[in-house]
Amino acid sequence: MPRRPNRAKMEDERMSIARAAAAWAAGLLICLPALAAEPPVAPVRPVQESFYGVQVVDRYRYLENTTSPEVQAWMKAQAEHADAVLKALPERAAFRARLEALERSGSDSVFRGQLRADGSLFYLKRGVGDDQFRLMQRPPGGRDERLVFDPMAIRLPGAAPGQPQAINYYSASPGGTRAGVVVSAAGSEEGQLLVVDVASGRVLLGPLPRAAYPHWQDEDSLVMLRQHAPGPGRGPQDKYRDSELVLFTLGEAGQPARDEVLPGRAWPGLDPGRDGDVLLRRIPGTDRALVALGNGVANEMALYTGPWAQRRDPAAQWAPVAGMEAGVVDYSVRGSTLYAVSHRGAPRQQVLAYDLAQPGQPPRVLLPASERVVQRVVAARDALYVLVREGNVHRLLRRPYRDGAAFETVALPFAGQIYIDQGWGCDLNAAQQDGLLIALQSWTQGLRHLRVDGEGRAAEIGLPVLAATDSPAELTTTEVLVTSHDGARVPMSIVHRRDLRLDGRNPVWLTAYASYGFTIDPSFRRERLAWLEKGGVLAFANPRGSGVYGNDWYLAGKGLNKRNTWLDVIACADYLIAERWTNPRQLGFSGGSAGGLLAGRVLTERPDLFGAVVPSVGVHDTLRFEFEPNGPPNIPEFGSVATEEGFRGLLAMSPYAHVRDGTRYPPVLLKHGVNDPRVAVWHSLKFAARLQAARAGDSPVLLRLDYASGHGIGDTRAQQLEENADTYAFLWQYLTRAD
């Protein structure tokens, strides 16, 4: 039987936290009577290490132990202080009211659409005023919708009452009769799988723990990844290692499902390593399967093929199709042909065709490399669809399968960002239907879904029904190329009111990301109007480390080249000042996750260049990143201290390591969800402690913590409204102040 929580131990921990909090408060009152509103100072307890002759001192290593009552008390005091300061900002209430009004005046939020062979349409929807996304379905040929699954209508095992729950992934079966849904609580992304009957909403299977990426093989079976169970000998960094490949086969009515762990890691010749994943996909309409091998967060994958019937055989021989060296970053399959996007010998990528009936043969080039960046490929029944980038604009290309057919551009209502294949991973079921579902948006046009039919004609499907605030006529975008420190030309999009004056006095909010080859594409967010309508400006940069110009641009901002990323951002900031969009006092910067790392590094490199900086869920102590649960999968992106090159790259990019005592840092708002599974919250704790101790002057360093959130995945509408109100008010306060 399950163990009950040890109530006495829990009460002891609560008392320890209370005593520690009281000690913090007492020390604060004794030492700083005039600054009782200030947060407590974290003690310095240095840990010194030597790497390749370099001495590194970590003053706040103990803050990594977030289960310590002392650390929990410090976190609580910091969070309460930040909340009090933010709630008291003069514009905070007005921003909160305006953000909610904008949300209620707009359209429903709809994303992750999946079209099935019977014509049914699945999507996640959060209606105006709703707090969370729910899984919905439109039957074939209609516009009426039915609720398939509401994540807040159940209570997951282990979830506390009142904790928000969210859908992390879902996959609809090929015939649209069932859906596999992965749900987690409080932003933890600790996924639990449920299989739901679409017609009745009845749960057929689950919840089953440690689940990710469900994918249907046919109407009765699906494959997913399952994290290894915690146990003796498994440390925090082992959480995502040794994942299992699990096949579920649903039984007849009243019969239990069959659960099989497939021998993916044992298959000869694959060698995924502890941090790699093995995925299995049955190729629709055939008796064959495709195996994809990934390496942590690396974009490249290796592909193999063989009979579906050998899936249970630990000695199964899978024929190699494309190894890691082939540079395949996306693929789709129709019949015996695998279509792949590859950067091998083509920095801006090309489309290749592999014959799965002859897996040892070299591929054919279908779409050669050019100035365009090839991004995605989907093989539908009628044609091959390819997503390409031209500058900061997407184009959708279509090529019928008949001999001699050429690629043609699909006509769309406006230029912007296009989403194709909105599932998670490569959905091979696309080959069972004509055309595809896409989503389209721009900086000034709200997201809408379109159906491309079997003749290549695109038409809107009224999903969602757009409101006037989704297409604000008073806004425009200025696209610029900025010359960086070494002559590289960095693209930046500037969104602003049409009547804006370039007088050097505008509050400008700059943001960037630039890791993993991820590019900030044109997107519309209704909440941004609260900033723009007051005369604020938004700027979005794609420095090196992004994929805006393909694989070479990405590699030029990776590893020992990472310094190009923050120097490119600094060049963009200098441009905004030189061209009189703003001035240093009124220029702010924000970034999240790996963009939070960038925000921290920009802050420590040029604190004089910004009036305020907001790092969110950021990686700040990069030298320690690989020792947390999500660290090992990220080694391909950031490197490891196990090599000298990796150490020197990590040291150079570490915001925490570059904080300097006695420096006048601008106001800083650090934001983090306490349950973050992707970037441990202690990154923000340590960075906040170091900045608070090192700063000269009285600029605030606030640590905003959300105890019901993680990396932001699955946050409710209410959580997002509160966070946005805090962020907007903080930036407005410090980018518009008279001094």
Phi, psi of 277 (to 5 degrees): -120, 145
Q: Are residues 588 and 679 in the same domain?
A: yes
Report the range of poorest mean pLDDT among 158-167, 543-552, 596-605: 158-167
Distance separating alpha carbons of residues 19 and 69, to the nearest angstrom = 9
pLDDT computed for residue 240 by the predictor: 87
Residue 594, in any domain of the structure: yes
**566 domain residue, yes or no:** yes
Q: Can you tell me the mean pLDDT for 88-113? A: 94
Is residue 386 assigned to a domain?
no
Are residues 629 and 708 part of one domain?
yes
Asked if residue 247 and residue 152 are part of one domain, the reply reads yes
Same domain, 80 and 178: no
Q: Are 160 and 82 part of one and the same domain? A: no
Average pLDDT of the segment spanning 481-486: 98
Please report the pLDDT score of residue 16 as a whole number: 38
Domain boundary among 241, 262, 283: 262
Position 553 in a domain? yes
561 shares a domain with 674: yes
Whether residues 522 and 629 share a domain: the answer is: yes
Q: Are residues 79 and 117 in the same domain?
A: no
Residue with the bigger pLDDT between 115 and 229: it is 115
11, pLDDT greater than 60:
no
pLDDT at 136: 97
| Strand ranges inside 308-409, DSSP E | 319-322, 328-334, 337-342, 350-355, 364-367, 373-379, 383-390, 393-400, 408-409
In a shared domain, residues 633 and 522: yes
427-455 average pLDDT score: 92
pLDDT recorded at residue 424 = 55
Rounded mean pLDDT of 648-676? Answer: 98
In the predicted model, what is the mean pLDDT of residues 128-145?
91
Domain assignment present for 216: yes
Number of domains observed in the structure of the chain: 2
Shared domain check, 226 and 79 = no
Residue 381 falls within a domain, yes or no?
no
Q: Which of residues 262, 278, 299 is at a domain's end?
A: 262
Structural domain contains residue 5? no
pLDDT score at 2: 30
Q: HSE of 68 in the Cβ direction (CA atoms, 13 Å)?
A: 12
**Whether the Cβ atoms of residue 616 and residue 671 lie closer than 8 Å to each other:** yes
C-alpha of 12 from chain center: 38
* pLDDT cut 70: percent of the chain above it: 93
509 shares a domain with 596: yes
Residue 619 pLDDT = 98
| Domain final residue, candidates 219, 234, 262 | 262
- For residue range 556-601, what is the model confidence (pLDDT) as tens digits? 999 999 999 999 999 999 999 999 999 999 999 999 999 999 999 9
Q: What is the CATH number of the domain that holds 706?
A: 3.40.50.1820
Residue 271 within a domain: no
Q: Note the pLDDT tens digit of each residue in 251-291.
A: 766 566 788 999 999 999 998 888 889 999 999 989 999 99
Provide the mean pLDDT of the chain.
91
* Interatomic CA distance for residues 682 and 64, integer angstroms: 5
pLDDT of amino acid 242? 85
Question: Are 79 and 219 in a shared domain?
Answer: no
Average pLDDT over residues 396-422: 93
DSSP string, 435-500: SEEEEEE-SSS--EEEEE-TTS-EEE--SS---GGGS-TTEEEEEEEEE-TTS-EEEEEEEEETT-
Nearest to 625, CA basis, from 663, 682, 667, 575 = 682
The residue segments making up the domain with residue 117 are 112-262
